[in-house]
Structure 1
Amino acid sequence: MEPAGRVFRLFQLASYLQSGKTLSAAELAELCGVSRRTIFRDINLLRDAGLPLEYDEEGRGFSMPVRSYLRPAEFTFAETLSLLLLCEELGGDGGIPFHAAARSAAVKLLSGLPESIRDELGEVVERISVRLEAPRSDAGEPAHYQLLIDAIGKRQCLRLTYHSFEEDGEIRTQVSPYRIFFQRRAWYVVGHSSVHDEIRTFNVGRIRKAELTDESYEIPPRFSLKAYFGDAWSFIREPNDRHDVVIRFGPKVAGNVAEVRWHRTQQIVRKPDGSIEFSVTVDGLSEIVWWVLGYGKEAEVIRPDKLRDMVGEHVQKLAQAYEIDSPGPP
């Protein structure tokens, strides 16, 4: 079944459960056209959404009281369609911690719609798909996200055990969380760290243990992610390492590079041969060097020399790894 169809199947299952009959898992599986295993998984999703499912031990079946949903607001067809698509796609396995709530929200939204509109939406949604980036395997424990949300809401510090790549092992620190954000397939929290005595960024997926403390804190009134990250290429800002970068991209990739807004400072100059010169100002080169390498021979760093040398060093090491004669200095 297409991903979007899962929401409609969940709604269909809920409708059968509200029919006034007690239905076994086998009967529900036959009605929905899926396996008993899928029915049990869907029933758990409905329960996680807070719907009052009942199990009759004697009849060995499931049921649900009629009118268990809240009536939705008066959305337009386009608004309903967009919400269903977003709820379903974010309700998949894409590393989004709120996926269960998103999927159950879609089911509740469907519940209040007239049957004719539901059928029309179903036909449209089955023909539209939103493909998200591949999920990370270290998405993290759902409980950690909820603790972070609670900590920010209550302004209470968190005591964390965290696997740090920089320290090459586990560290223990007390964090005052300022912001939570999602970027590059992972969730991060930014806040003051007691061990480092400065504001740090932590990957939520690498939090091993989290505990809410009684100690309160205040978020600096002028704090913002925009100011914190500055002109970092992504989100690793390297203070006192600001560079004006110019990269020439060949005709084969120029169009793909030019059509994306990679950075707020970027400027593009198109050349007669179809190539482009891509200019950007960044605070640090460690992130952008990997982006440049991803385009292979179609990307040439014009300046600064530091970035050009970094790319050249990687190329030489690649040549050695593949036992190719060194290409020499860039």
Structure 2
Amino acid sequence: MPFSKSQDLIRLARLAAVRRTGISLDEIRDEFGISHRTAQRMTEALEAVFDNVEAVTGTDRRRRWRVLDPVLEKLQLRQETAVEALDIASRTARGDGRLRHAAALDDLRGGLLARLTPKDARRTEADVEAVLLGMGSVARPGPRVNLVPAVVDAVIEALRGPFRLRMRYGTMDAPERVVEPHGFLLGHRSYLVARQPERSDEMRTFRMDRILSAQSLDESFSFAPGFSLEDYTAKSFGVYQNPKQYDEVIWRFAPHAAARAAEFSFHPRQTAESQEDGSLIVRFHAAGWLEMAWHLYSWGDAVEVVAPAGLRNFIENHRRTDFDSLP
């Protein structure tokens, strides 16, 4: 067996050992970027090389492979990539104010390093630090809103229940309100998605930086039937939603900007159509004209709003002709 294939087989055995329900052919295919038939050959090799492999058919009628009582834990594979990923995730969580997540990630990182010899641990940490110093994404350049860690912790605890959340929003003299959290949207400005039963069953978004205090209550509730955070967020261009603005959005990018615009995903459910004159039409359904306007401004006069009319009128007098470059 070639050396690279041996490495892949060891990696597959570790995946089959650490995943509680084992690993399926589809997951092997996705994990290794291989064909279905190659994935089958890998499972055949797994069963041929290791005696403690169990293949079971789950309730979804998919066959999954597990390694029982793995001795692979004694094989210390290189951990640089895993430690890098944990470091990046920890720094991101800390920057978002999610201190409990940062602490958990740091514990995992420490556990990986503890399993290495002191020499290998020092080498790994040095390699990881070199990579992180060269990654601008870790520094997260650009403006962002600072969140209160105690508020973030309370929101996460409420989502875990799910429990109702008592919070003071806006100003310190504002009355406290009790909401039912349904989601936490992270971004340059983060939002809590929740309904406030005393007002209505409608979902609302609350800016996390304007939640001044929060407490997870010992009061459980049921999520709104059929609610999907993915579907909810798809209704907006950015984060904020105004149901009255929800409509089909059509943007036409000029021929000189079409190739650049084609590299963007403006909305997860967009469609793009190249035109005979070289321009590009992008369509999607969403609300949030202000956030659209902020982005459209950066394109100068290289983009035209075809629809809706309200958005077109909103930005028409703010299109610039003197921008030297595209986003």
TM-score with structure 1 setting the length: 0.60
Counterpart-to-counterpart distance in 2, 1:304 and 1:137: 30
1:193 maps onto 2:196 in alignment: yes
Aligned partner of 2:153 in structure 1 is: 146
Q: Distance in 2 between matches of 1:301 and 1:106?
A: 48
Q: Kindly provide the amino acid, as one letter, of the partner of residue 94 in structure 1.
A: G
Specify the alignment match of 1:231 in structure 2.
235
What is the deviation of 1:211? 2.3
Give, as a single letter, the amino acid of the residue that structure 1 aligns with 2:164. C
Alpha-carbon shift at residue 121 of structure 1 (Å): 6.8
* Residue 73 of structure 1, CA deviation: 9.1
Closer, same or farther: CA 230–116 of 1 in aligned 2, 3 Å: closer
Residues 191 and 239 in structure 2, CA contact (< 8 A), matched pair in contact too? no
Check conservation: 1:139, 1:204, Cα contact below 8 A. no
State the Cα deviation string for residues 153-187 of structure 1 (Å, max 9, x = none): 333322100117xxxx84521011122232x2344
The question of 1:82 aligning with 2:81 is answered: yes
Q: What secondary structure is seen at the aligned counterpart in 2 of 1:86? A: helix
Alpha-carbon distance change, 194 to 138 in structure 1, aligned in 2, over 3 angstroms: farther
Matched, 1:159 2:166: yes
Q: How does 1:268-307 map to 2 (within 5 A)?
A: 268-271=272-275, 275-307=279-311
Output one character per residue of 1:97-120: Cα deviation in whole Å (capped at 9) or x when no partner.
Answer: 133433343233222124347626
Extract unaligned runs of 5+ from structure 1: 1-71, 320-330
Name 1:95's counterpart in structure 2. Answer: 96
Q: Distance in 1 between matches of 2:247 and 2:279?
A: 22
Answer yes or no: is the 8 Å Cα contact 1:269–1:277 preserved in 2.
yes
Q: 2:176 aligns with which of 154, 172, 176?
A: 172
Partner of 1:218: 222
Distance in 1 between residues matched to 2:198 and 2:143, nearest whole Å: 27
CA contact (8 A) 1:161 1:209 kept: yes
Count of residue correspondences: 241
State whether residues 179 and 189 of structure 1, in contact with CA within 8 Å, keep that contact through their aligned partners in structure 2. Answer: yes
Partners of 2:189 and 2:111 lie apart in 1 by 28
Match of 1:256 among 220, 245, 260: 260
Distance in 2, Cα, partners of 1:148 & 1:73: 39
Task: Give the secondary structure class of the aligned counterpart of 2:301.
Answer: helix
The answer to whether the aligner puts 1:309 opposite 2:310 as a matched pair is no
**Which residue is 1:208 aligned to?**
212
Contact kept, 8 Å, 1:263 with 1:280, in 2: the verdict is: yes
Partner of 1:28: none
Give yes or no for contact 1:94–1:135 (8 Å, CA) kept in 2: no
Q: Do residues 131 (structure 1) and 129 (structure 2) align?
A: no
Rounded Cα–Cα distance in structure 1 between residues aligned with 2:166 and 2:212: 11
The alpha-carbon distance between structure 1 residues 234 and 141, as it changes in their structure 2 partners (threshold 3 A), is same
RMSD between aligned residues: 3.5
Q: Tell me the equivalent position of 1:266.
A: 270
Residue of structure 2 equivalent to 1:106: 109
Residues in 2 aligned to 1:170 and 1:201: alpha-carbon distance in whole angstroms: 17
Q: Percent identity?
A: 24
Matches within 5 A, 1:15-94: 77=78, 80-92=79-91, 94=95
Distance in 2 separating the partners of 1:101 and 1:76: 22
Higher relative contact order (CA 8 A, sep 6+): 1
Q: Can you give the 5+ residue segments of structure 2 that lack an aligned partner in the other structure?
A: 1-72, 322-327
Decide whether the 8 Å contact of 2:97 with 2:152 is kept in 1. Answer: no
Instruction: Give the 3 Å change call, closer, same or farther, for CA 305–220 of structure 1 in structure 2.
Output: closer
Contact 2:234 2:269 in 1 (8 A): no
Cα distance change on mapping 1:205 and 1:87 into 2, 3 Å: farther
